Amino acid sequence: MRIGIDVGGTNTDAALIGDDGQILATVKSPTTQDVTGGVAAALAGLGATDVSAVMIGTTHFVNALVEAARLEPVAAVRLGLPATAALPPMVDWPVRLREVVEGAVYLCHGGHEYDGTPISELDPAELREVAADIRRRGLRSVAISSVFSPVSSLFEEQAAALLRAELGPDVYLSISSEIGRVGLLARENATIVNAALRPLADHTIDAFGEALRVAGIEAPLFLSQNDGTLMDVAHARRYPVATFASGPTNSMRGAAYLSGLSDCAVVDIGGTTTDVGILAGGFPREAAGEALVAEVRTNFRIPDVLSIGIGGGSIIAPDGTAGPRSVGYRLTSEALVFGGHTLTATDLAVAAGHAVIGTPALVSGVPYEGALKVIAERVAEAVDRMRTSSAPLPVVLVGGGSILVRDLPGFADVRRPEHFEVANAVGAAIAQVGGEVDRVFSGPRESVLSAAKAEAVARAERAGARDGSVRIVDVEEVPLAYLPGDAVRIRVKAVGDLDLEKINA
């Protein structure tokens, strides 16, 4: 059996899934301020301890970035001189966040051209001076980025080894070639964000482990990544940034599992927001190019999701409009249907007879038709904005807040599968293990494509996928006509089933 848990802004959802894929139990409990309290309550609600694995999707790390809280000052080391000096690290960050994260910035020699030719050689003496200044400032987290490191990561690896030797094993090192894609500033930003979250990752993962221990569960713990796959605890400590947007991803993967559809639109209505995404081949469509996270440009993988401020906890204004303000996790104390004094979207759904929650008699006289119609129209508009063709598109409604919507104008096939309210937890529980390659290759098309696929499969197997279960789920080729030598950027994603024996070996 597996346990999947998803920590949202309003609720912490959990699902227990048997070896045959059957959903044996589900729990929905309010998210607590310390996050782990909600996880402990969800585990206690399931009441199962003899399980093979626990998978958790959490918003803890992205919330820390959005709030500019619980972040570690970072020493940003860029390898690229004499190039790249015009735009230093964090040049495009919002001031509020930069003041919290920027510990020090260092521009050093190094970096490569697109074809792997060095821009300049690494200078060990220069890096030792950087290490001495980092030590003097008392900084614990270091982000290392190098020009075109996805093509050649050699200088980043050498710089990391030198800095670790100088600063000791307790320093947190984040290397851009392991985190972002081609594009220096956005990849560097993602690496700095990751470095700022490393100490918080240790604290949070330890707290999750303690929650499992208190619940009497000895199974291995995994965290959900934002591409619909899993990472073990050691990987999660090194790459907390990989959890960003894992909530919507889990919901979409869970929607595919519960509905049996691999290509559809997924509408996940939670307590605060509605997230709309597109499933292609059972996995979320990824955002093209760069993505803004807390107003910081990044280029690591992230699902293409459109969010609007409508959820079950949305406050209904006097004019009948819903959101974006929400009562959030206070829904069970503030909504009218629970004896509170705030009119919420959930009150409208109960008044309309869409669900039996709380005490329906408390909202028997509430007018609901106009507001629920507007909510359905806004959700339908969001789905329409995400589609890429006029072909018929099935829509799967999930999330506890999906009781707000029955039909969507313009969409004939709208489904709400069984266990829709915990689709995010189901998505976490069924997640697989993945490997990805995204870099520039040169040479004959067939040979470089074959090499990229083999590397992606090998990465998935190293991450814990069962040998022989790995399959290629996405291939993207972008010819770089402005570069000589038949250069092409190839991105390959492979996924496979989790091999617990390999993980525990």
Distance CA 436, CA 460 (A): 8
Q: Which residue has the higher pLDDT, 165 or 273?
A: 165
With respect to CATH, is domain 71-194 assigned 1.10.10? no
Place 28 in a pLDDT band, splitting at 50, 70 and 90: confident
Return the domain boundaries, the chain: 71-194, 432-504
Helical ranges in 168-261 per DSSP H: 184-214, 233-238, 246-259
494 φ/ψ angles, rounded to the nearest 5 degrees = -125, 145
pLDDT, average across residues 406-415 = 93
Distance CA 460, CA 480 (A): 27
**β-pair partners for 168:** none
Q: What pLDDT is recorded for position 324?
A: 84
Q: Which residue has the higher pLDDT, 344 or 465?
A: 344
The model's pLDDT over 356-375, given as tens digits with 9 standing for 90+, comes to 999 999 999 899 888 999 99
Distance CA 321, CA 343 (A): 11
Q: Is there a contact between 199 and 207 (Cβ–Cβ < 8 Å)?
A: no
Q: What pLDDT is recorded for position 151?
A: 80
- For CA atoms 287, 183, 246, 263, the dihedral sign is positive
Distances (CA, A) of 177 to 106, 133, 455: 18, 24, 15
Q: What pLDDT is recorded for position 503?
A: 64
The model's pLDDT over 278-322, given as tens digits with 9 standing for 90+, comes to 998 888 888 776 778 888 999 877 888 888 889 999 999 988 888
Q: What pLDDT is recorded for position 481?
A: 66
Is the predicted pLDDT of residue 144 greater than 80, yes or no?
A: yes
The chain-wide mean pLDDT, for the chain, equals 89
Gyration radius of the chain over CA positions: 24
Place 393 in a pLDDT band, splitting at 50, 70 and 90: very high
Share of the chain above pLDDT 70, in %: 97
pLDDT, average across residues 224-243 = 88
Q: What pLDDT is recorded for position 47?
A: 85
